[in-house]
Amino acid sequence: MFFCFLPQFTLSYNFLVFCPLFAHSHHQFLAKIADTLTEAGHNVTFFAPILVREYENVKYLEYTKDIIYIQPDEELEKMGEAADYSNFWKEDAGMFSFVPAVQRFFKMFVKLNENLEKDLSVLDKLKDRNFDAMIFETLAFCAHPIHEYLGIKTIFPSFSMTHMTEISKAIGEPTSPSFLPTTVSPYAGQMTFKERLLNTLGDFIFTHILKPPSLKSFRGDKEYLDSNEIQAKAPFVFINSNTFLDFPRPMLAKTINIGGISVNVTQMRQEKLSSKYNEILNERSQTVLISFGSMIRSSEMPQEYKKTIVKVIESFPAVTFLWKYESENVEFSKKVKNLHFSKWFPQTALLADSRLTAFITHAGLGSVNELSYMGKPAILVPIFADQMRNAKMLARHNGSITLRREDLGVFENLRSAVNSILNDKR
Ligand SMILES: *[C@@H]1O[C@H](CO)[C@@H](O)[C@H](O)[C@H]1NC(C)=O
Ligand SMILES: *[C@@H]1O[C@H](CO)[C@@H](O)[C@H](O)[C@H]1NC(C)=O
Ligand SMILES: *[C@@H]1O[C@H](CO)[C@@H](O)[C@H](O)[C@H]1NC(C)=O
């Protein structure tokens, strides 16, 4: 009996979670993995080089205490500051509009890699911890010289979105673009011939032209590290896809779908709303929350969209609207009575409250997961990256209506969608 119980006390591993801070949803995902392992009794080190300053002071980790930040040098800091997503309000939202953003991320990762190589003392300190395994996002290809230098034999490439063609290809999963939407594809489900063709073109561009560069080893021999070859040997790949929600596809058993890991339904239901929000929810019998997330700012949307949204809100005097808006200057709203602005809303608590009727959002994966766990109706207005795919994924289950970004400027389209989401029993 004694020996049977022994493993319980000894099977704890040393994990390194590598998470360069560059975009909110990516840290949230990796932090949740880190916390899950910490809670299970493992020793987790969260290694977070700062690329974009605004994420430095956001608390992502609850249980993992061992966090190592690295400050960016001046050049890297400038690259991080240059990130501007307001263009996505104006540019064509097709899948190729995301190409420059991906290229910018790549440049930051290459620069981070150079900085790490210049001063290897940070990594040398980590060496003593004898990590058993390292977890990182496959997008952050600068992870490879790190685990190679630290001599970490086991790696778990992960991805904070639903599906990445590259990693599937690396491990040997079929990814035919004729039926499977790529990571940032706006086409999915029942595709027309033209859509299949564009999806295939997108797949080609993202896997061949936007291929992450191979980086050199930090050891003396300066050998190039082939990301595909390395990732092919990974025992598991964790992705933010939920089997019930996502499009079906052929998968290997080493791909583990952990979509929804960041949604804690019990916790969402237990959250208490402050009296301020309680009063707001009691104002009228129906309430709608509008939020476009943290990267795409409502305050930066074209004036025409703002005016149309306000006009639609005015046309529903019996419904209260809450709008996450990042600026104090809301003159365009003409003091509409049934509209509340705020820079921040308790989103999860509101979504869990039965008095909230619907959510109008940008279809970020975090929100889409929360919506589906809560069964809350939504109007999804995807703006960029994987949001088009996420919107299609949720709409397939008939819980949401998808609008094009341009519809925010067309009164009839927006009004009719809001009317359906409030009144259509389906
Ligand atoms: C966990 O990590 C800390 C910090 O590196 C180290 O001091 C400790 O010995 C580790 N514990 C185990 C069980 O490896
Ligand atoms: C979810 O939240 C509840 C209440 O806060 C907590 O007791 C539980 O441990 C959480 N579950 C997970 C998997 O984190
Ligand atoms: C969604 O609605 C359509 C049209 O009403 C219907 O054909 C389809 O079966 C529904 N799908 C689900 C998953 O309920």
- State residue 5's pLDDT score: 66
Ligand nearest to the CA of 9: 1
380-to-48, 61, 95, 281, 309 alpha-carbon distances in Å: 32, 29, 17, 22, 14
Ligand 2 centroid vs 263 CA: distance in angstroms?
A: 10
In order of start, what are the domains of the chain with their CATH numbers? 12-257 (3.40.50), 265-423 (3.40.50.2000)
pLDDT in tens, 222-257: 789 999 999 999 999 999 999 999 999 999 999 999
CA 27 – CA 60 distance, rounded (Å): 7
Going by their DSSP bridges, the two strands 319-324 and 339-342 should be labelled as parallel
Give the ligand 3 atom nearest the CA of 398.
Answer: 1
Mutate to test the pocket of ligand 3, among 244, 245, 394, 398 (most ligand atoms within 8 A of CB): 398
Residue 174 identity (one-letter amino acid): P
- State residue 10's pLDDT score: 64
- State residue 91's pLDDT score: 75
For residue 366, report the phi and psi dihedrals to the nearest 5 degrees.
-60, -50
- State residue 191's pLDDT score: 93
Q: Look at 221 and 323; give whichever has higher pLDDT.
A: 323
Regarding the beta carbon of 270 and ligand 2, being less than 6 Å apart is answered: yes
- Supply the residue whose CA is at minimum distance from atom 7 of ligand 3: 398
Using the structure block, give the residue that is written with the tokens 């509340």.
Answer: 340
Regarding the beta carbon of 42 and ligand 1, being less than 6 Å apart is answered: no
Does 36 have pLDDT greater than 90? yes
Regarding the beta carbon of 267 and ligand 2, being less than 6 Å apart is answered: yes
- Supply the residue whose CA is at minimum distance from atom 12 of ligand 2: 264
Q: Contact, 46 vs 61, CB < 8 A?
A: yes
Ligand 2 centroid vs 17 CA: distance in angstroms?
A: 22
Ligand 3 centroid vs 251 CA: distance in angstroms?
A: 26
- State residue 399's pLDDT score: 87
pLDDT in tens, 110-152: 999 999 999 999 999 999 999 999 999 999 999 999 999 999 9
Does 294 have pLDDT greater than 90? no
Ligand nearest to the CA of 41: 1
CA 64 – CA 11 distance, rounded (Å): 18
Does 92 have pLDDT greater than 80? no
Q: Is the pTM of this model over 0.75?
A: yes
CA 420 – CA 191 distance, rounded (Å): 25
Does 211 have pLDDT greater than 90? no
- State residue 209's pLDDT score: 81
